[in-house]
Amino acid sequence: MSAKITQLSNGVEGVFIKNDRFNTTLVSFNFYVPMAKDTAAEYALLPFVMTSSNKQYPDFSALNFKLAKLYGANLSASAEKVGDFQLLKIAISTIDDRFSLDNESLCDSATELLTQLIFEPKVENGAFCEEDVAREKRKAIEHIRGDLAQKRIYAKKRLIEEMYKGEPYGVAKCGSEEDVEKITGKSLYKAWQKLLSTAFLRVNVISRSMPAGLFDGIAEKLGSITRENVTDCTKSTPTAAVSKPNTVIETMDIAQGKLCMGFSSELYGDDESTAALTVMCDIFGGGPYSRLFTNVREKYSLCYYCTSGLVKSKGLITVESGIEKENATKAEREILNQLDIMKQNLFTDEEFQSSIKSITDSFKSYNDSQGLLDAWYSLKIVKDKLVSPEEAAETISRVTRNDVVYAARGVKLHTVYKLLPNDKDGDA
């Protein structure tokens, strides 16, 4: 497998990822914009409105009929948070041209449909169709409410809000329910115009061979758009250490409490800069061999689950656990104790080797899925040079125990968030 960048225009690049394992071709448009409270909800709604209809296919029925004619092509949309930026993705996947009848170029047709949806939306008098906007707003609000109903997601969200008050990373990836309610057809049209003119755009193509003229056609489409003040999405502000950790406790009518802890790190950035931190975080709480699982959960039975996660671009480590109220303080102390064990180089060789193998195997497994590969290269925007999953795995394999200890010693507790049952019992 190989990947190559082609510059298409100002702030626009195409990436061809050659992979012979798949019988389909995937093309994705990835727009990167600054994460901001004022724009998050509108930008997050755009991919879903744009993939529901356009001028040529004004409703679901017409669009789905077109997808069916493309041998059941799959159209998808998403909005994610990548460091201090919002990633808006619109993608289409169709079977390779060699399987089509009458030598029809399915890839060309699918890409043409995708560009039509993006550049020729269904608008009138400078506004998106209010009916389409209202429908997608209802879905967005249901999604936001659904996340709030899932207390594990809610607790993690509240931790991030507390850690990054007034900062881009503290903004919810789809905005707030109130911000979604305010969206109109006209405001969304203005957001679409700004997106096309200022977003950094990466077009990923994953296929056995590069479809002829695909990037040229996209560049031609973009030629009519004035591109200025293009987003520089190569750097996110690292998480700053605090002199005194903050603790936030909330109560709610729930059966199981949640304990979330956020840590800053001295290491942050791309795969190479954070390789040791990646291994450290995995040994700490990444799998069934990890310190948090084998000790906090299994040995001491202080929680129902206990895992750690890493946001490389921010140098952020999070720990999430489900707890009984009376175990909240004990679990917090033991989690910090396990971090101290990492800093003192007291983890075992078996844990270290298990982590190295687990991470390298997981990186290599990206080649088994076009969706995973697309996600991988969508995140590789820190450097001009693309790093493949195999190259990242090789970097991980060179990490030593001393590297892990060094990484651990740069990890500092930033914020503790507890969501506890609102009864009067227990130790909070």
* DSSP output for 195-241: HHHHSEEEEEEEESSPPTTHHHHHHHHHTTS---S----S--PPPPP
Residue entry with tokens 């509240």: 158
Compute the Cα dihedral for 311, 315, 319, 320 and give only its sign. Answer: negative
Closest CA relative to residue 296, chosen from 285, 286, 283: 285
At 1 the pLDDT is: 63
Same-domain pairing of 259 and 217: no
Same-domain pairing of 56 and 184: yes
Same-domain pairing of 275 and 415: yes
Q: What is the pTM of this model?
A: 0.94
Residue entry with tokens 């170029």: 105
Whether 18 is covered by a domain: the verdict is yes
CA angle 53, 108, 88 (to 5 degrees): 50
Rg (CA), the chain: 23
At 198 the pLDDT is: 96
Residue entry with tokens 């709030």: 148
Same-domain pairing of 32 and 128: yes
What does the chain come to in residues?
428
At 97 the pLDDT is: 73
- Looking at 190, 222, 254, which one is the last position of a domain? 222
Ranges of the chain whose pLDDT falls below 50: 425-428
Which residues is 207 bridged to in the sheet? 18
Domain CATH for 119: 3.30.830.10
Whether 240 is covered by a domain: the verdict is no
Whether 381 is covered by a domain: the verdict is yes
Number of domains in the chain: 2
At 266 the pLDDT is: 97
CA pair distance 242, 314, nearest whole angstrom = 15
Whether 112 is covered by a domain: the verdict is yes
> Which domain, by its residues, includes 62?
2-222
- Looking at 177, 206, 222, which one is the last position of a domain? 222
Same-domain pairing of 14 and 90: yes
Whether 427 is covered by a domain: the verdict is no
Same-domain pairing of 272 and 126: no
Same-domain pairing of 318 and 405: yes
pLDDT digits over 308-326, tens only?
999 999 999 999 999 999 9
Please report how the helices 275-285 and 328-343 are oriented relative to each other, as an axis angle in degrees rounded to 10: 140
DSSP at 273: T
At 384 the pLDDT is: 66
Same-domain pairing of 203 and 82: yes
DSSP at 298: I
Q: Residue 213 is encoded by which pair of tokens?
A: 């003229």
By DSSP bridging, strand 412-421 and strand 246-252 are parallel
Residue entry with tokens 């080797």: 353
Same-domain pairing of 364 and 266: yes
Same-domain pairing of 205 and 256: no
- Looking at 187, 222, 257, which one is the last position of a domain? 222
Runs of H (alpha helix) within 25-150:
40-50, 60-69, 106-119, 130-149
At 85 the pLDDT is: 96
Whether 272 is covered by a domain: the verdict is yes
Same-domain pairing of 204 and 265: no
CB 382 within 8 A of CB 388: no
Same-domain pairing of 85 and 205: yes
Whether 237 is covered by a domain: the verdict is no
Whether 232 is covered by a domain: the verdict is no
At 428 the pLDDT is: 40
